[in-house]
Structure 1
Amino acid sequence: MRGARATTVTVTAFPWTSRSRSTTTRMASGRTRGGTRVGAASDAASDAASSVYDAPEIYDVAFGFRDFDKEIDFLETLVREYGGLHGGGGLTSALELGAGPAWHSLACARRGIQAVALERNPAMRAYANDKKVAVEASGVKLNSMRVVDGDMRHIELPHMMAPEGGFDCVVMLLGTVAHLLTYDDAISCMTSVRKQLKPGGLFVVELEHPWDLFSGDLSEGVGDAWDRVDEERGVKVLVEWGRDGDEFDIETQVYERTVSFNLIELDGNENTKPKVLKTVEEVVPCKIYTAPEFKALARAASLAHVGTFGDMSTTMALDDEDAHNMVLVFRRDD
């Protein structure tokens, strides 16, 4: 980032990035406390966003690089192999919590799967609906998809949006679980999830890998950084996800993670100074969960643990050296 002293730090990949665990990147030292800093770079345009989640078009470039169609294949496999009380059927309905740009809901709807994207942020909801309209304009009908306002701690869906009998699958992916800042929040969320699932339905949660949790980096406030290019728009997004010196409360297990986006114009000339179009920075509280405690919380919500994976793949074991995430699968058994 401009205006800050650059230091070299070793970073640990967070689960939703699916990047190498041992990499070195250049990050800015120092941090912004007390909320959001907007337009930090001297040549960046001022921005009305109050949160990184209020900049969905940047967020989409920063995090939308995963193979979401392949991840729906994974969910379909889970439902066949682990879903159902008397043998799993096919994936016909899915509820995506903290959906953001609704990547997974869009991928489901392309297959004709009934998909509901639950998202509290109005800018994200509008962006997700715009993406849906854009896909439909290309001739692909997404009649089975809905984007709704809602709190994942207390899920209340309009009657006509929920499938009769409940959803085959509810997902909370890309680190969304970190926004459940207390155990009460987590139990309330999973109790609501259970009510939304059909008997035998699955709840799929993506968390940080235990290797990342126990490496010691959290206590040091070590973060991650990367860049993503959108050739069509002619821009690049520099992403900072955690910063050297970010605070971690060892009692509450809440990490005050600095998140920043720098949107840079690509002009094709390496000799000119890059133009920063927009900068958004925010300190985002994120709760860290271990596998044993999240399983215990799920049991308190009457959800049974049925599977653990090291990525969004049934062939990736948690202890595999290439595992980047921890994916826990729970089932409503009644």
Structure 2
Amino acid sequence: MLQRLRLSRLAGRVAASRCTPALVATVHGGKQRSTAPVPCASVSPAGQGCKSTAERRGSAPRRARTVPASALAAEAPEASNEPSTSAPSTIYTRPDLYELAFSYRDFKAEVKFLQEVYKQHNKHALSSVLELGCGPARHLAGLARGGVAKVVGLDLSPDMLGHARKSVAKQGGKAAEVVELVQGDMSDFDLPHKSFDMVMCLLGTFSHLLDTDQAISAFRSAAAHLRPGGILLLEMAHPGDLFDGTLIIGESGKEVWELPQENGDKVFVEWGAEFDNFDPVTQIIFRTVTINVLRGDDVIDSVEEVVPYRQYTVRELELLAKLAGLEQIALYGEMRMGVDLEHEDAYRMLALYRKP
């Protein structure tokens, strides 16, 4: 079925690109590639043979500090085009560029999907959400405006959190009143509230968990923060992108897109490079990510980083869920109801797991 799907997915990807400003998709082997989301920084790095965060700290998870975004607006770092001075510049210390690079996404439609998919599997409206690796918190702000009463975001990056706090405070209204932002590691966290309707991890952020122990711990931490009947939702790459070799052979996994800005500048994003490596044992792909801001032919701002992320299979995720006491209930191929993994419009994976 998936082999047939790989041919039909071209039409879906072209359709999806129509809502993407100036999307430039690479073509390999006759197949157009969709733009792959860059995961947010939300977990301490761990490579092959590294101990998980829980092992390094002992068995007790770290309790994160939760504060309403509106209350912290005054202490949030000022938005700046200058990278953080506390560490080498990365795509996560440049949340301004990160947000620009992925501004093509239809956040309003995606927020609607999150509410609809929860209601379909629970028969009542979504009232509380925790997002792991929340980044600029665009989905959380939309959920708050949509009437979700409790909205919490967790991220490891202080730069991302500072940017998100300023953004939601600027929006005002429900976004500023409701959204709470927490600095913490998604593989090992302990929040006061432990009865969320939904815990979600979007934009492929779960792939930052390179170590199996980290992944197990993250599932268990998420499960501990769900109410009975609550749902864990993960947005990941489509499984076909790994198994047909598209992600790992030469330039086949490279994504390129361009977003014109109102002032005439252009944001040009390259996700992947010709000599990026894939380790078939650890299933870790090392992707070169470059974001350039162009004014005419001149690059006026840029950031580049090699981002390691792990490609999880559907069965691995199902096993991780079972270890955490969760059950797989649905797999979608896009943030649209009725689009499964074999649909012609499928070009990502939304995996849903329920706590009994």
- Offset from partner CA, 1:214-245 (integer Å, 9 cap, x none): 221233243111111231x5432111111111
Paired position in structure 2 for 1:21: none
Preserved CA contact (<8 Å) 2:27 2:33 = no
Paired position in structure 2 for 1:220: 249
Pairing 1:321–2:352 present = no
CA distance in 2, matches of 1:198, 1:229: 43
Paired position in structure 2 for 1:42: none
Paired position in structure 2 for 1:77: 116
AA matched with 1:296: L
How many residue pairs are counted as aligned between the two chains?
280
Distance 1:242 1:47, change over 3 A: same
Q: Give the 3-state SS of the residue equivalent to 2:299 in structure 1.
A: strand
1:105 corresponds to which of 140, 150, 156 = 140
CA distance in 2, matches of 1:297, 1:320: 25
CA distance in 2, matches of 1:291, 1:156: 27
Preserved CA contact (<8 Å) 1:61 1:229 = no
Task: Could you tell me which runs of 5 or more consecutive residues in structure 1 were left unpaired when the two chains were aligned.
Answer: 1-7, 18-44, 266-272
Preserved CA contact (<8 Å) 1:112 1:144 = no
Paired position in structure 1 for 2:33: 12
CA distance in 2, matches of 1:105, 1:46: 26
Distance 1:205 1:143, change over 3 A: same
CA distance in 2, matches of 1:141, 1:205: 23
Q: Give the 3-state SS of the residue equivalent to 1:278 in structure 2.
A: strand
Paired position in structure 2 for 1:263: 293
Identical pairs, percent: 38
CA distance in 1, matches of 2:248, 2:116: 37
Preserved CA contact (<8 Å) 1:14 1:324 = no
1:128 corresponds to which of 150, 164, 183 = 164
TM-score for both structures, normalised by structure 2: 0.74
Task: Could you tell me which runs of 5 or more consecutive residues in structure 2 were left unpaired when the two chains were aligned.
Answer: 1-25, 39-80
**What is the Cα-based RMSD across aligned positions, in Å?**
2.0
Higher mean C-alpha deviation, range 212-221 or range 191-200: 212-221
Query: Which structure carries more helix by proportion?
Result: 2
1:143 corresponds to which of 165, 177, 183 = 177
- The within-5 A match list for 1:299-310 is 299-310=322-333
Post-superposition shift, 1:9?
A: 6.3
CA distance in 1, matches of 2:269, 2:94: 13
Preserved CA contact (<8 Å) 1:95 1:171 = yes
TM-score for both structures, normalised by structure 1: 0.79
Paired position in structure 1 for 2:52: none
Q: Give the 3-state SS of the residue equivalent to 1:220 in structure 2.
A: coil
Query: Which structure carries more strand by proportion?
Result: 1
Paired position in structure 1 for 2:283: 253
